[in-house]
Amino acid sequence: MSRKVVHPQHNHTVITVSPLTRLPKLIQDRIPGLTVINFSIPGELYRDSPDYPKLAKLINESAADIILTLPHVLDNLVQHGLCCDSIKWFQSTSAGAEELFHAFPKPPDHMVFTRMGEGFGGFMAEYVLGQIISREHYFPQMAEYQRQKVWSRSKFIQKRSLASLTIGILGTGAIGIKIAEASRAFGMTVKGLARTMKESIMPHFDVILMGWIGGAILDAIDKEPLPADSPLWTHPDVVITPHISGPVTTDKLVLSKYF
């Protein structure tokens, strides 16, 4: 964990807690006059990391009034002693907001919380349509046949056109709208469903394991990382990706424009 400080003349101090070392400079370029302090963290920082108490102490000493990081990082920082009395604005670097309610069951009146839904729409739409196309056109199975040096068409001739499919999108915000637009471009029938923070479309994985649905593509999971003994890892109708459907690494740097 390293620390970098940019010192312009301004009344606000911004803390970024991120593996993206260029993010402070991009924010500085867009909003000259901010004091930006970056605490560089590993790309994967989970609840049991020993870095949280030290990081919370350093942020407390900075007396920052704006913090920019992932919701689960903020949640863990609060659990490990982060004092939010001086923080007026929390800007999430992700689209989700559920973990904010873990950190603050009742958000403090003096804090404003914002997230980056608009910055994720295009990336998420690419991910969703890519996974649907991969599934419907048997790309994983074809890759396996190639590894085995098997030339056979019989398994793949029953593929479905996307135009024959109906997609249900739970959540009609900025991300859902982008996914709907991309789906319609392929001729899919789109059904949009609104949701609230308290709703859960899949409280258990039984619907997958018992075959109630044809398959699942899982990117964000309640407990991350997914335990090694989870039956989902080896389920033939499940695709698992490590929470990367949104912008990551250098792509995520474009989100600085939403700050």
CATH topology of domain 120-210: Rossmann fold (3.40.50)
Residue 2: phi, psi to the nearest 5? -120, 165
Comparing 58 with 224, the larger pLDDT belongs to 58
Comparing 201 with 155, the larger pLDDT belongs to 155
CATH architecture, range 13-116:
3-Layer(aba) Sandwich (3.40)
Q: Which two tokens stand for residue 112?
A: 């404003």
According to DSSP, the β-strands at 166-170 and 189-193 are parallel
pLDDT grade for 47, boundaries at 50, 70 and 90: low
* Residue position matching structure tokens 């407390």: 60
Q: Report d(CA 100, CA 86) in Å as an integer.
A: 17
Secondary element (H or E) of residue 38: strand 35-40
pLDDT grade for 48, boundaries at 50, 70 and 90: low
Q: What angle do CA 95, 97, 103 make, to 5 degrees?
A: 140
Task: Yes or no: say if 218 and 240 are a contact pair by the CB < 8 Å rule.
Answer: yes
Specify the pLDDT at position 229.
Answer: 92
Q: Among 39-53, 75-89, 127-141, whose mean pLDDT is lowest?
A: 39-53
In this predicted structure, the answer to whether residue 204 has a pLDDT above a threshold of 70 is: no
Q: Where in the chain is the domain with CATH 3.40.50.720?
A: 13-116, 120-210
The 3-state DSSP class for residue 117 equals coil
Could you tell me what percent of the chain has a pLDDT over 90? 39
Q: What is the mean pLDDT of residues 237-248?
A: 85
Specify the pLDDT at position 41.
Answer: 83
Size of the chain in residues = 259
pTM to 2 decimals? 0.77
Residue (of 27, 53, 55, 28) closest to 41 by Cα position: 55
Query: Model confidence over 154-194: pLDDT tens digits?
Result: 989 889 999 999 999 988 888 999 999 999 999 999 999 87
Residue 63: phi, psi to the nearest 5? 55, 40
Residue 255, C-beta contacts closer than 8 angstroms, at least 6 positions apart: 93, 116, 119, 247
Task: Yes or no: say if 143 and 90 are a contact pair by the CB < 8 Å rule.
Answer: no
Q: What is the mean pLDDT of residues 38-60?
A: 82
In this predicted structure, the answer to whether residue 199 has a pLDDT above a threshold of 60 is: no
Query: Model confidence over 92-117: pLDDT tens digits?
Result: 888 877 777 778 878 789 999 988 87
**DSSP letters spanning 63-82:** T-SEEEE-HHHHHHHHHTT-
